[in-house]
Structure 1
Amino acid sequence: MTDLPELKEEEKALLHDQFVYQYLLEHPAFFQHHPELLNRLRLPHAQRGAVSLVERQLEMQRERIRGMEEDITRLMSIARQNEHIFFALNQLHLDLLSARQRTDITIALSTFANRMPHVHACTLLDFNHEAMGDNFSGLQLVLQHRLQHRSYYFGRLNKDEMATVFPSSIHSVALLQISQGDKPLALLAFGSELDDHFQPSMDTLFIDHIAKLLAVVLPRYDQR
């Protein structure tokens, strides 16, 4: 290797490391031709002091396998949860379509919420003065702050907003505005006692389906 006397020892060591690194990248079969070096190489280990390259490779492989097993377990858990939600949503669909009066819709939504993990409350609020009474102004405040430019909101509410929708025991919410065209019909709200159960990053696939379904069902009872 070319001597570099004008460089400091630390700089020469760094260059030597880069040369070795590049060489091994370009010659991946190097240790196949020199297997005797594998057992002579020693790598620092936090718990065991120093280990051979082969031992380190086996350990890294075991770590990758453990990571893959954890990923599989996590994906299976998500799949089971989605399956549970799918069947609950399917039953909600049937219950809403077979509803005979407005209270049947409320019961169906509450039953659906009870089947959801970490969901502790559900309410459906109509967008009219008669139904809301003194809470109508509070509902307008929630709409302006949380649903002004979108049809859903996941997260926390301040104290005044929460008083319009849920009791103080609820800490995070999913709000869904139900509309028929440009006409707002109602606000559907799910509540959890956990601070972080409903988060802005949550997927909206299932809740979008509920919104579309309610937009079809609710007008039937407004006309009676």
Structure 2
Amino acid sequence: MTDVTDVKDISNAYLHDQLVYQYLLEHPAFFQHHPELLSRLRLPHAQRGAVSLVERQMELQRERVRGLEEDITRLMSIARQNEHIFFALNQLHLDLLAARQKTDIRLALSAFANKMPHVHACNLLEFNHEAMGDNFTAIQMVLEHRLQGRHYYFGRLNRDEMATLFQPGIHSVALLLISHADQPLALLAFGSQLDDHFQPSMDTLFIDHIAKVLALVLPRYGQQGC
């Protein structure tokens, strides 16, 4: 059983800590007026036993610098990747506008996919029985199950769904519904061999642009062959 005196001692220690804490917050120049205390204060350290306040401050500053350097490196990597995607997307835009037949569209999409990191497959499926063949019903089921009224899906599919859209080896997908005047035209599917390359949290800026361009280009060719 805890002694009453012990409880009082704990309460007093906590109260004193709060008073010191509040005083230092209200007097940030305290150690400037008493610099000798900086060298006398010792703080517990997991590896070195105890260090001075100045040493601990320097260590924290070094940790912050390392964190900032890692953030800068990550942001630069993202910037380079976005630049690469931008130029590839720009070329895709030009190729789609210059396409003379649907084969040109498919070639342009495949060339774009080949430039994207960790994208290993690209498939454009038009919404008609002739183009989809025996997969028509299966593809309709994928749309109903995964898109559920949305225009995008990012993530994994089950084995049967994956076999409907891709050759073996694809593990995560980006599905993009292409529509014109509220009428579905086609399904654009990108596939990656990585399990987590396409994820629900992914940004849709670039893929949304592809959808808009395809929605303008595909109706030019009606039901003509590929």
Taking the TM superposition and a 5 Å limit, the aligned residue runs for 1:102-181 are: 102-181=102-181
- Measure the CA separation in 1 of the matches of 2:43 and 2:99: 69
User: Secondary structure of the equivalent of 1:8?
Assistant: helix
Name the aligned partner's letter for residue 103 of structure 2: T
1:60 aligns to 2:82 (yes or no):
no
- Which sections of structure 2, spanning at least 5 residues, go unmatched? none
Percent of residue pairs bearing the same amino acid type: 80
- Measure the CA separation in 1 of the matches of 2:126 and 2:170: 20
- Measure the CA separation in 2 of the matches of 1:117 and 1:6: 63
Which residue is equivalent to 1:191? 191
1:98 aligns to 2:122 (yes or no):
no
User: Secondary structure of the equivalent of 1:218?
Assistant: helix
Which residue is equivalent to 1:28? 28
- Measure the CA separation in 1 of the matches of 2:7 and 2:117: 64
Task: Map Cα deviations across residues 63-121 of structure 1 (whole Å, 9 max, x no partner).
Answer: 11111111111000000000000000011011111111111100000000000000000
- Measure the CA separation in 1 of the matches of 2:118 and 2:218: 26
- Which sections of structure 1, spanning at least 5 residues, go unmatched? none
Name the aligned partner's letter for residue 198 of structure 1: F
User: Secondary structure of the equivalent of 1:32?
Assistant: helix
User: Secondary structure of the equivalent of 2:31?
Assistant: helix
- Measure the CA separation in 2 of the matches of 1:154 and 1:13: 55
- Measure the CA separation in 2 of the matches of 1:114 and 1:8: 71
Taking the TM superposition and a 5 Å limit, the aligned residue runs for 1:41-80 are: 41-80=41-80
- Measure the CA separation in 1 of the matches of 2:157 and 2:139: 12
Give the superposition deviation at 1:146.
1.1
User: Secondary structure of the equivalent of 2:43?
Assistant: strand
- Measure the CA separation in 1 of the matches of 2:96 and 2:148: 27
Alpha-carbon distance change, 84 to 6 in structure 1, aligned in 2, over 3 angstroms: closer
User: Secondary structure of the equivalent of 2:28?
Assistant: coil
Which residue is equivalent to 1:203? 203
- Measure the CA separation in 2 of the matches of 1:7 and 1:172: 59
Give the superposition deviation at 1:20.
0.8
User: Secondary structure of the equivalent of 1:38?
Assistant: helix
Give the superposition deviation at 1:223.
5.2
- Measure the CA separation in 2 of the matches of 1:212 and 1:177: 10
- Measure the CA separation in 1 of the matches of 2:7 and 2:143: 68
Name the aligned partner's letter for residue 124 of structure 2: L
Task: Map Cα deviations across residues 34-73 of structure 1 (whole Å, 9 max, x no partner).
Answer: 1110000000111111100000001101111111111111
Which residue is equivalent to 1:17? 17
Give the superposition deviation at 1:7.
5.0
Task: Map Cα deviations across residues 140-183 of structure 1 (whole Å, 9 max, x no partner).
Answer: 01110111221000000011111111123100000000000210
Task: Map Cα deviations across residues 181-203 of structure 1 (whole Å, 9 max, x no partner).
Answer: 21000000000000000001100
- Size of the aligned set, in residue pairs, is 220
- Measure the CA separation in 2 of the matches of 1:44 and 1:166: 58
